């Protein structure tokens, strides 16, 4: 017997978590599915309620709900949020496995959302059940928020923020291989449009070639802007990043291209401002317009890439209690705890931290390189480990215990 309950109880919860994860994978929740995340929320609701945990389900839009569920100790104490998103990206066109069959193979579970991030959702729900059934949460409060739409406009996190939800800290369960990430860069998906003038390909001097202008823009981006990023290195997040994702233009070989469009991914850091992100591009475009009189350009966000809140960068003080609680949890399970990383992708942690003022870390099972991939999968033992780590971190953060020995091998 450990403080966290019997070994038999723990094994039962662990087995339930895997079965829950399988059901979550089979519940498709990618764009185009009617009431996209509703079935995932129903599975979470059924699981939590079967263990006596009340839930609050709130429709955000079009039958797509957020779910909140909490467990409280008898004494007052800090409030910890465990947050995960219920949507996924669509299945890949070509995949060697059925991404919705939830196939187990050599200790891994294959399926869309295993890594990003239904594995973490199952672990978080299991952590709540573990805390509830064992009675070990003596102080404070732990809430699970399962929210919609992280992969597109982040409507779920905006709704959570606008609801006035408050907590003392949050853990966002994106795939970090169960290592602590204390921040990530901001994200802008931008369109750069070039409008020239069509002309016959035999007399190109009569037109204004938008493709040539776009090519000039790419050259300036690489020669002038990217080197400038060295001056803006963030002490935690590192260098800003820009990636040219797509380029499209022209009609046919014998016509001077009157239109060209570039879409790019811009990751920005705390040493920059959002105004600077747009100004950087405008400075380059002014040079191109000067070189090609009559050319028109425009920069704007990719439509529907965000709702209303800025997708900015986020960091947390490495000495914040939630960071220390997560490190203590790792130590309690005899895992390395000193290394604090940066998550390469953008997450709901930014809105939770920047807009709701809830300091956040990114910490969850799974490896990012499997997310969105044709072979998306997760090591099942990592999901169970994540559940145990979330339980331990919650106990440390809320003050329900102070010594690692009290939960070792729980």
Q: Which domain holds residue 119?
A: 7-184+313-406
CA dist 144 and 31 (Å) reads 23
Domain assignment present for residue 49? The answer is yes
Count of CB atoms within 10 A of residue 96's CB? 9
Domain assignment present for residue 308? The answer is no
Query: Are both 82 and 190 inside the same structural domain?
Result: no
CA dist 330 and 337 (Å) reads 6
Judging by beta carbons within 10 Å of its beta carbon (0-12, 13-18, 19+), is residue 285 exposed, middle or buried? buried
Query: Are both 175 and 191 inside the same structural domain?
Result: no
Q: Return the pLDDT at 401.
A: 81
Query: Are both 294 and 320 inside the same structural domain?
Result: no
CA distances from 356 to 119, 216, 285 (A): 25, 41, 36
Structural domains in the chain (count): 2
* Residue corresponding to tokens 């009189």: 293
Query: Are both 66 and 191 inside the same structural domain?
Result: no
CA dist 294 and 282 (Å) reads 16
Q: In a 3-state reduction of DSSP, which class is residue 26?
A: helix
CB-based contact 343:176 (threshold 8 Å): yes
Query: Are both 105 and 176 inside the same structural domain?
Result: yes
Query: Are both 200 and 176 inside the same structural domain?
Result: no
Domain assignment present for residue 99? The answer is yes
Alpha helices, DSSP H, located in 89-153: 119-134
Alpha helices, DSSP H, located in 175-250: 210-220, 226-228
Which stretch of DSSP H or E encloses residue 393? helix 380-398
Q: Cα angle vertex 316, ends 349, 321, to 5°?
A: 105
Query: Are both 29 and 177 inside the same structural domain?
Result: yes
pTM for the structure as a whole: 0.93
CA distances from 155 to 59, 179, 287, 354 (A): 11, 27, 38, 15
Query: Are both 288 and 246 inside the same structural domain?
Result: yes
Please compute Rg for the chain using Cα positions.
24
Q: Could you report the average pLDDT of every consecutive run of 10 residues in the chain (410 residues)?
A: 53 94 98 97 98 98 97 97 98 93 96 98 98 96 98 97 98 98 98 98 97 98 98 98 98 97 98 98 98 97 94 98 98 96 98 98 98 97 98 97 56
CATH of the domain at 206: 3.30.70.360
Q: Return the pLDDT at 237.
A: 98
Domain assignment present for residue 98? The answer is yes
Domain assignment present for residue 280? The answer is yes
Q: Return the pLDDT at 162.
A: 98
> What is the dihedral sign for C-alpha 357, 312, 342, 318?
negative
């Amino acid at each position: 017997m450990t403080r966290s309950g019997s070994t038999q109880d723990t094994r039962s919860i662990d087995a339930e978590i895997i079965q829950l994860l399988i059901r979550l994978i089979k519940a498709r929740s990618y764009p185009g599915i009617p009431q996209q995340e509703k079935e995932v929320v129903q599975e979470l609701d059924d699981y939590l309620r079967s263990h006596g945990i009340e839930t609050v389900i709130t429709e955000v839009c079009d039958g797509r709900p957020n779910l909140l569920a909490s467990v409280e100790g008898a004494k007052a104490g800090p409030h910890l949020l465990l947050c995960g998103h219920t949507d996924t990206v669509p299945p890949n066109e070509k995949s060697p496995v059925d991404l919705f069959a939830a196939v187990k193979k050599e200790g891994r579970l294959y399926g869309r959302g295993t890594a990003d991030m239904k594995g973490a959702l199952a672990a978080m729900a299991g952590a709540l059940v573990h805390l509830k059934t064992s009675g070990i949460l003596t102080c404070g409060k732990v809430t699970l928020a399962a929210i919609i739409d992280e992969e597109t406009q982040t409507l779920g996190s905006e709704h959570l923020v606008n609801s006035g939800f408050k907590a003392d800290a949050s853990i966002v369960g994106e795939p970090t291989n169960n290592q602590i990430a204390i921040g990530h860069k901001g994200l802008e998906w931008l369109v750069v449009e070039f409008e020239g003038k069509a002309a016959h390909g035999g007399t190109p001097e009569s037109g204004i070639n938008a493709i040539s202008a776009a090519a000039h823009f790419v050259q300036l981006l690489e020669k002038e802007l990217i080197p400038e990023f060295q001056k803006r290195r963030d002490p935690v997040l590192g260098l800003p990043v820009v990636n040219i994702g797509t380029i499209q233009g022209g009609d046919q070989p014998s016509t001077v291209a009157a239109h060209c469009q570039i879409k790019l991914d811009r990751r920005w850091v705390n040493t920059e401002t959002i105004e600077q992100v747009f100004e950087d591009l405008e400075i380059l475009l002014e040079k191109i317009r000067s070189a090609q009189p009559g050319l028109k350009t425009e920069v704007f966000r990719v439509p529907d890439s965000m709702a209303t809140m800025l997708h900015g960068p986020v960091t947390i003080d490495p000495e914040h209690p939630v960071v220390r609680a997560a490190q203590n949890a790792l130590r309690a399970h005899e895992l390395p705890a000193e290394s604090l990383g940066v998550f390469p992708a953008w997450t709901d942690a930014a809105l939770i931290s920047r807009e709701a003022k809830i300091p956040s870390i990114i910490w969850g099972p799974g490896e990012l390189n499997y997310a969105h991939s044709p072979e998306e999968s997760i090591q099942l033992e990592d999901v169970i480990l994540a559940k145990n780590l979330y339980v331990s971190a919650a106990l440390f953060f809320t003050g329900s215990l102070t010594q690692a020995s009290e939960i070792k091998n729980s």
